[in-house]
Amino acid sequence: METTEQRYNQRLARYVTAMRNGKPDMVPIRPFVAEFTASYAGYTCQEVTHDYRKAFEAARRCACEFDWDAVVANMVYVWTGLVQALGLRYYAVPGVDIGPDVGFQYIEPGEDNAFMKPDEYDQLIDDPTAFLYSVWLPRVSREVSAVGEQAAYRGRVALTKSAMAMLQYFTDFGPQVERLRTECGTVSAIAGIMKAPFDILADKLRGYIGLTMDMIERTEKVLAACEALMPHLYHVAATTADPSCTVPVGFWMHRGCVPFVSKGQFESHYWPTVKPIIEELWRGGHQTLMYAEGDWNAHLASFAELPDASVVYHVDRGDIFEAHETMGEKFCLSGGIPNVLLSHGTAEQVRARVKDVIDGVARDGGYILDASAIMQNDTKTENLRALTEFAREYGVYSASSAAVESGCPAGSARGLSSETKTEPGACVPWSLKRAELGEISGDEELVERIWREVDALGNTFIWQMLVSF
């Protein structure tokens, strides 16, 4: 009888082989199930969004009861308990601001209320980390006071408890991943997070409308800001990536594609400040999962410039068959099963679509079965079962290539250089702190090492608030 550990190892080999564009024993199944896990486990959206322990439990239940190779440890990633602790303005919380059976919503401010003003580019470019703490955080938080205002009691409490809550939340992912392995035999699908500099400007700083105006009125400033953000966003991705280089860094792609921007703007601003991050991650042995939300087919030729096997390319509203024709020899693809079909179609229609995708994309390997986009609580259980069962029957290869071994190359990643005042990973540079200390009577290297380690925690907090929450 197969043990859970044997099942895990088999699934891991299947998943890794496909991601490296090889042919495993069968097509891997890696559904990105978010609020679906709530409805399946009998929870509301409020419960899994506001209590991440229930979200973890729901993810484990789905992993144990469906024959899937890999899942995300918690695809309902934004923990609204932490959101409320800091008083973030840009979320509608289920059961508080919206109904308990609706997934959390992002509220983008109007152009006049953008969290970064058009005349503040130079301040961001000079020191992105300081800008986030001094300017951005007080604007996005209902609790934190702006520089020059009296620091209120609740603001100090909000900063302390949100930092502690983040540490608690991220620490609890380790046991969750281990339980997926030991209880379900299921692989944790991704590790780490990456965002494009351009998307950060559009999502969290200038807003989409503000950024589109800036692309006309201050094009060079936008590019300089993207370049200033690059090394910091690379640092976030690299320091949160899988240390064993087995599973990829999740890269959530939002507003850098046609028609949100023109093809020329993609080529001048978006791609030149994303491509180097992906290439540098690959030098360190880390694949990137390019989760292309929307239709990015206009940019497939640009993506094909990346090194072979450096990414797993996920197709949402784009044409997966065109993506396979353009990039199938270079990269593993995933997705291509429309969410509307899984929510409103029949099991027969789901099986037919899975067959079409396997026939057209997966014949030589290098494909991972998933819905086009993250699955919410309108996904039908019977349709997801049909997808799973049909893929296990139909998606078997007559012969497979050798399982691909993963592992990080020794010391190949160099990082991305920064011309900003504060280096990536720091808040208060050691050089500044050293000048304040004066003479050190003991071991200066020890003092420096501990300062850097603790200071880095402050950097982690603000950049994770920006990128993840």
Indicate whether 253 belongs to any domain: yes
Residues 328 and 439 placed together within one structural domain of the fold: no
Cross-strand pairs, 194: 251
Mean pLDDT in residue range 404-409: 73
Indicate whether 177 belongs to any domain: yes
Q: What is the pLDDT of residue 199?
A: 97
- Residue 221 burial (10 A CB sphere; 0-12, 13-18, 19+): middle
Of 335, 367, 386, the one marking the end of a domain is 335
Mean pLDDT in residue range 316-336: 97
Indicate whether 9 belongs to any domain: no
Mean pLDDT in residue range 302-314: 98
Residues 163 and 68 placed together within one structural domain of the fold: yes
Residues 176 and 257 placed together within one structural domain of the fold: no
Mean pLDDT in residue range 398-408: 71
Kindly report, residue by residue over 28-54, the tens digit of the pLDDT: 999 999 999 999 999 999 999 999 999
CA distance 443 to 409: 33
SS3 (DSSP) at 88: strand
**How many Cβ atoms are within 10 Å of 450's Cβ, its own excluded?**
10
Largest CA distance in the chain: 76
pLDDT(419) > 90: no
First-to-last C-alpha distance (Å) of the chain: 43
Indicate whether 353 belongs to any domain: no
Indicate whether 258 belongs to any domain: yes
Q: What is the pLDDT of residue 400?
A: 67
pLDDT(413) > 90: no
Residues 149 and 175 placed together within one structural domain of the fold: yes
Q: What is the pLDDT of residue 197?
A: 98
Residues 167 and 212 placed together within one structural domain of the fold: no
3-state helix, strand, coil in the chain (%, to 5): 55, 10, 35
Q: What is the pLDDT of residue 405?
A: 67
- Alpha helices by DSSP H, listed for 106-189, are 121-126, 128-131, 137-140, 153-171, 173-179
Are 172 and 52 in contact by the 8 Å Cβ rule? The answer is: yes
pLDDT(420) > 70: yes
CA angle, corner 222, sides to 217 and 223, nearest 5?
125
Residues 76 and 204 placed together within one structural domain of the fold: no
Q: What is the pLDDT of residue 414?
A: 80
Residues 176 and 118 placed together within one structural domain of the fold: yes
Residues 139 and 247 placed together within one structural domain of the fold: no
pLDDT band for position 152 (cuts 50, 70, 90): confident
Q: What is the pLDDT of residue 148?
A: 77
Of 188, 205, 235, the one marking the end of a domain is 188
CA distance 347 to 391: 13
Indicate whether 383 belongs to any domain: no
Q: What is the pLDDT of residue 415?
A: 82
Q: In the chain, count of helices (H) and strands (E)?
A: 22, 10
Which structural domain, as residue segments, surrounds residue 58?
A: 33-188
- Alpha helices by DSSP H, listed for 362-429, are 381-394
pLDDT(412) > 80: no
pLDDT(123) > 70: yes
pLDDT band for position 256 (cuts 50, 70, 90): very high
Indicate whether 224 belongs to any domain: yes
Q: What is the pLDDT of residue 66?
A: 98
Kindly report, residue by residue over 157-202, the tens digit of the pLDDT: 999 999 999 999 999 999 999 999 999 999 999 999 999 999 999 9
pLDDT(328) > 90: yes
CA distance 237 to 220: 26
pLDDT(101) > 90: yes
Kindly report, residue by residue over 5-14, the tens digit of the pLDDT: 999 999 999 9
CA atoms within 13 A on the CB side of 52: 20
DSSP summary character for residue 194: E
- Of 370, 181, 201, 345, nearest to 292 by C-alpha is 370
Residues 121 and 205 placed together within one structural domain of the fold: no
pLDDT band for position 411 (cuts 50, 70, 90): low
Of 288, 320, 335, the one marking the end of a domain is 335
Residues 141 and 212 placed together within one structural domain of the fold: no
CA distance 193 to 172: 17
CATH number at residue 261: 3.20.20.210
Are 353 and 347 in contact by the 8 Å Cβ rule? The answer is: no
Q: What is the pLDDT of residue 195?
A: 98
pLDDT band for position 271 (cuts 50, 70, 90): very high
Indicate whether 416 belongs to any domain: no
CA distance 158 to 152: 10
Residues 329 and 289 placed together within one structural domain of the fold: yes
Q: What is the mean pLDDT of the chain?
A: 95
Q: What is the pLDDT of residue 146?
A: 83
CA angle, corner 66, sides to 62 and 69, nearest 5?
100
Residues 58 and 149 placed together within one structural domain of the fold: yes
pLDDT band for position 410 (cuts 50, 70, 90): low
Q: 135-165 burial string, b = 16+ CB within 10 Å, else e? A: bbbbbbbebbeeeeeeeeeebeebbeebbeb
Structurally, the chain folds into a number of domains equal to 3
